[in-house]
Amino acid sequence: MHAPTAQDLSKNSEILEILSGVYDRVIGNSDGTVANYIPELAKADPDKFGLAIATTTGALYSVGQAELEFTIQSISKAFAYCMALEIYGREKVFEHVGVEPSGDAFNAIVFDPHTNRPFNPMVNAGAITVTAMLREAAGDGALRLLLDRFSDAAGRPLVVSDAVYRSEAEAGDRNRAIGYLLRNVGAITGPCEPAVDLYFQQCSILVTANDLARMAATLANIGQNPVTGKQVFSVSAVRDTLSAMLSCGTYDYSGNWILDVGFPAKSGVGGGIAGVVNRQMGIGVYSPRLDPKGNSVRGTAAFRQLSDDLGLHIFEWSNYGSQYLRSSG
């Protein structure tokens, strides 16, 4: 099979067929469990499954429950990081947060032993640092800033789920502890509680698989929303964000992700994953059952399959995809 290029994609019904094929192959997988350490997340219907592709030419293809809202959770970390890079410049951000994979769980209480800073912006410690920087820059207007920018990336107004936010805040002692430790090592310089609170709100923004695909397509399109034409993020911030998503976006699964999927993505414990195929498309998946590392089980399977079927791995060497590799032994 030939791998479609960005040009074919805008009017390619083959894409919808491939998406449906992936859906059919993955829907039967009921492994994993819905996150329950944030009580409100435990209410998610485990069987829901939505898949969407948004191209950089503005087309949207989706199957399943791609219009169902869930909270963005850690996927927000990628977009918040992009904003901090723009506001502060990369040198300043790098002084506070590293870019090395931690090899640890997303909520690990561990800092880089060489720098005493969080390993990267995709684990909680690094993300709370980034959000604290946004709060320092925008004060009480920081949530509005986050919502506006996320909405511009998605192409529709996004809002916070109050129920999930309150649930996160109630169950958020581990993140608060991380926040205080960050202050202790100097990664956070301002007050801790408002920064962690903003992080809870940021994680509680409601999105759909379609939104994730569109937000990811904005990154794929070097920061410009392909539908509205608005330049949402700067080119250089997008480059650095995609780099961190590639190396660290699925926590301590990131090495395997690069191997089997082979393009940048960010997962969240709400069950979403957003993936970016540079200059071609954004992919959004929702399925709330998670593996032990906190990544959506069906989401991961769907990304692997899509990468194979469309030949999306950054090191894809032929037009045949890895299906060919397997069949040729």
- Interface residues toward ligand GLN, by CB under 6 A: 73-74, 106-107, 124, 168, 175, 203, 268-269, 294
Nearest residue by C-beta to ligand GLN? Answer: 74
In 10 A of CB 298, how many CB atoms? 31
Least distance between ligand GLN and beta carbon 20 (Å):
28
Least distance between ligand GLN and beta carbon 37 (Å):
7
**Nearest alpha-carbon partner for 21 in 314, 302, 263, 328:** 302
Instruction: Kindly state the tokens that stand for 141.
Output: 């207007």
The nearer residue to ligand GLN, 74 or 241, going by C-beta atoms, is 74
Least distance between ligand GLN and beta carbon 302 (Å):
18
The nearer residue to ligand GLN, 73 or 300, going by C-beta atoms, is 73
In sequence order, what are the residues at sequence separation of 6 or more whose Cβ sits closer than 8 angstroms to the Cβ of residue 70? 44, 206, 207, 208, 270, 271, 272, 286, 288
Instruction: Kindly state the tokens that stand for 75.
Output: 């996927």
Least distance between ligand GLN and beta carbon 116 (Å):
21
The nearer residue to ligand GLN, 298 or 313, going by C-beta atoms, is 298
Least distance between ligand GLN and beta carbon 132 (Å):
14
* Segments in 158-296 forming alpha helices (H): 162-170, 173-185, 192-203, 209-220, 235-248, 254-260
Contact between residue 55 and residue 280 where contact means Cβ atoms under 8 Å apart: yes
The nearer residue to ligand GLN, 93 or 269, going by C-beta atoms, is 269
Q: What are the residues facing 181 on neighbouring strands?
A: none
Least distance between ligand GLN and beta carbon 279 (Å):
27
**Nearest alpha-carbon partner for 85 in 101, 104, 99, 100:** 99
Give the C-alpha separation, 253 to 245, whole Å.
12
Position 43, amino acid = K
Least distance between ligand GLN and beta carbon 249 (Å):
11
Instruction: Kindly state the tokens that stand for 299.
Output: 């989401």
The nearer residue to ligand GLN, 265 or 269, going by C-beta atoms, is 269
In the chain, how many H helices and how many E strands?
A: 14, 9
The nearer residue to ligand GLN, 203 or 312, going by C-beta atoms, is 203
The nearer residue to ligand GLN, 174 or 279, going by C-beta atoms, is 174
